[in-house]
């Protein structure tokens, strides 16, 4: 593998969602990521493991962690790994004999990353949960949606991947850097509630300054402002408008040929009338027509496209942000590096495909531990 993490060994104890996403990110960055799968599967989509993009670039070993030999094998792998990540409920790894204490006894430099929804402690730590519940308790879900309507679910991007997997990677990389200086590993407690709350720092800033009302659809960045909103076009498609700065707003008005005073942009009493004008303007042409009109403009207007359509957008295509690799449409690794470029690795492996290969390579004596 190429990339800035080339040479870093990561052991991922199989799970679903944000933990595998973090493992994928580390693999995208060049780390050698080995996923420990359970016998008989455990994948989110059984029988379709070859399509599970969260496991791209990884190798898979199958080990039955209910067997002492398998636990010993994982501890032997942890002894030579740089990072271990797990997404069990608090206490499960300890009961398996694979908690931080056991692993650090074998490898004091190990960075032990833990991915949960509620965190390792707190009154809800042992409760089951999913993205929607985690973001609900941070205030994030409450803030998303139209005025007078219910909260809208932002897929599972905000919690699982934004506040979860991304923060586990941030923590792991920071701990790796510190271990280079101190020679000591540590535990990274990455909780989706913590990460999602952290993502709301800018919103809390506006709340503190009085520029954000603690309700949906009435604020500058939640669709309340008519110049930061989504409008339907003549063909039932949509255009996204983000003309926040005065010069961009002025250009929006000019392109739409609206008779509006740019100085009234932030006059909230005028927003309903302005929204009606913008809606009528966008409803007069198709999405393709408006896309052509705004091409090259600084009015900050873009078409709302589907996942499949995005791959064919000229800018996305030119950047290679979404590509077809090994027959699968998928996002390219991000971010990009000038000296140690990343590259898409191997396709998602079948569980256990690399068991013997990895155990031998990582120096595990009992290659039949699974």
Fill in the DSSP letter of residue 339. Answer: S
Region label for 156, one of left (φ > 0), alpha (ψ between -120 and 50) or beta (otherwise): alpha
Is the model's pLDDT at 368 over the cut of 60? no
The structure's pTM equals: 0.94
pLDDT digits (tens, 9 = 90+) for 61-93: 999 999 999 999 999 999 999 999 999 999 999
Tell whether the model's pLDDT for residue 239 goes beyond 80.
yes
For 118-163, the pLDDT digits (tens) are 999 999 999 999 999 999 999 999 999 999 999 999 999 999 999 9
User: Who has greater pLDDT, 299 or 47?
Assistant: 299
Report the distance separating Cα 321 and Cα 30, nearest Å. Answer: 18
Give how far the C-alpha of residue 328 lies from the chain's centroid of Cα atoms, to the nearest Å.
Answer: 19
Rg of the Cα atoms in the chain: 24
The DSSP element (H or E) to which 262 belongs, if any, is none
Asked if 271 contacts 225 with a C-beta cutoff of 8 angstroms, the reply is yes
Mean pLDDT for the chain overall: 95
From the list 130, 204, 214, 267, the catalytic residue is 130
| Contact assessment for residue 23 and residue 10, using Cβ atoms and an 8 Å cutoff | yes
Domains and CATH numbers, the chain: 9-199+333-361 (3.40.50.10540), 228-306 (3.30.1540.10)
Selected catalytic residue, list 160, 194, 222, 238: 160
Would you call 130 a catalytic residue per the annotation?
yes
């Amino acid at each position: 593998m190429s990339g800035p993490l080339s040479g870093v060994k990561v052991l991922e104890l199989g799970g679903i969602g944000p933990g595998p996403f973090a493992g994928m990110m580390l693999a995208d960055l060049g780390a050698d990521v080995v996923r420990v799968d359970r016998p008989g599967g455990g994948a989110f989509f059984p029988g379709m493991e070859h399509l599970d993009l969260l496991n791209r670039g990884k190798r898979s070993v199958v080990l039955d962690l209910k067997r002492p030999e398998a636990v010993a094998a994982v501890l032997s792998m942890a002894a030579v790994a740089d990072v271990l990540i797990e997404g069990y409920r608090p206490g499960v790894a300890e009961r398996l004999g694979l908690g931080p204490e056991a692993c650090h006894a074998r490898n004091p430099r190990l960075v032990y990353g833990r991915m949960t929804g509620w965190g390792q402690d707190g009154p809800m730590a042992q409760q089951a949960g999913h993205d929607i519940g985690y973001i609900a308790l941070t205030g994030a879900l409450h803030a998303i949606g139209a005025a007078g309507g219910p909260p809208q679910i932002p897929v599972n991007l905000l919690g699982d991947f934004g506040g979860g997997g991304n923060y586990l990677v941030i923590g792991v990389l920071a701990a790796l850097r510190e271990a280079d200086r101190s020679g000591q590993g540590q535990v990274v407690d990455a909780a989706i509630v913590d990460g999602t709350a952290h993502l709301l720092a800018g919103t809390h800033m506006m709340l503190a300054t009085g520029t954000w009302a603690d309700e949906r659809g009435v604020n500058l960045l939640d669709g309340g402002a008519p110049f930061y909103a989504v409008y339907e076009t003549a063909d039932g498609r949509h255009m996204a408008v983000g003309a926040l700065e005065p010069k961009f707003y002025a250009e929006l008005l000019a392109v739409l040929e609206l008779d509006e005073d740019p100085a009234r942009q932030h006059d909230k009493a005028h927003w309903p009338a302005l929204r009606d004008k913008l809606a009528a303007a966008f409803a007069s042409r198709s999405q393709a027509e408006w896309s052509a009109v705004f091409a090259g403009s600084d009015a900050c207007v873009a078409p709302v496209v589907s996942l499949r359509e995005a791959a064919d957008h000229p800018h996305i295509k030119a950047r290679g942000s979404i590509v077809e690799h090994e027959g699968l449409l998928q996002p390219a690794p991000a971010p990009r590096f000038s000296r140690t470029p990343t590259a898409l690795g191997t396709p998602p492996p079948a569980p256990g495909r690399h068991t013997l290969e990895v155990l031998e390579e990582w120096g595990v004596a009992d290659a039949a531990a699974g």
